[in-house]
Copies of this chain bind each other. A is one copy, B any other.
Amino acid sequence: MSDQLHIANVRNVLIRLEETIIFALIERAQFLCNAPVYTPGFFGDALGGESLCGFMLRECEQSHAKVRRYTSPDEHPFFSDLPEPILPLLGFSQNPLIPNAININTDIRSLYQETLLPLICRAGDDHQYGSAAVCDVACLQVLSKRIHYGKFVAESKYRSPTPALEQALARQDADLIMAAITDDAVEQLVLQRVTQKAGTYTTELNRNALSPTVAPAIITGIYRDWIIPMNKAVQVQYLLLRCSR
């Protein structure tokens, strides 16, 4: 089984995903907002009613589905009309999660297009539509992975519950579960580490001063205001399902 699916590796996977997220956001930030990329129908009927971003995301998911990406419990598609895998399925016999259909990618896509893009990209249109959409796909996929990894975090907490979590689970109370899984000190450590990394990774771009890149505080804010809260929302959904079984 992949190391990424071991409960013992949850923390390491989350830390390593920080690099991937920051890289992806920096790459997208080199292009302007490019509103036409997110406007369904802007390019006529050729994209089947989708925006360019949606079209390229679906095309990517269709090819990745063929090589069984979405059979892995840490992967979640944005689209449901995907082809069957053409490779033999892996066992995932040690999948640590309980069966579940939790998938908040619709929310993630809206958040990304409506809220995050204007934060990370300068306003305007540079006509780099294809390049921007390729970056969007990378951003959306890694944000989805990081946020849905809450399932693994939740399973880990379920297996070694604090007394507060045990009580909350016994009452199947979402608010109590949310309070029990929240650890402000740990969240502060994550935010400090992300700030540090984002600072490091934007240093060189700013040194060469070719064009402004995304500010470290923006990346930290995205973690604080959306990635961490949405990850915790997934945890609560998963734990409610877990304790009802």
Q: Please list the residues of chain A having a beta carbon within 8 angstroms of any beta carbon in chain B.
A: 1-4, 12, 15-16, 19-20, 23, 26-27, 30, 43-44, 46-47, 52, 55-56, 59-60, 62-64, 66-69, 72, 86-88, 126-130, 133-134, 138, 193, 196-197, 200-201, 203-205, 208, 210-211
A2 near B128: Cβ-Cβ < 8 Å:
yes
Whole-angstrom distance between the Cβ of A102 and the nearest chain B Cβ:
21
> A204 contacts which of B3, B4, B20, B201 (Cβ < 8 Å)?
B201
Query: Which residues on B sit within 8 Å (CB–CB) of A86?
Result: 46-47
> A2 contacts which of B19, B66, B127 (Cβ < 8 Å)?
B127
Q: Give the nearest-CB partner of A128 in chain B.
A: B2
A68 near B130: Cβ-Cβ < 8 Å:
yes
CA distance A203 to B200 in the complex (A): 8
CA distance A128 to B63 in the complex (A): 17
Query: Which residues on B sit within 8 Å (CB–CB) of A69?
Result: 130
Q: Give the nearest-CB partner of A63 in chain B.
A: B59
CA distance A47 to B68 in the complex (A): 13
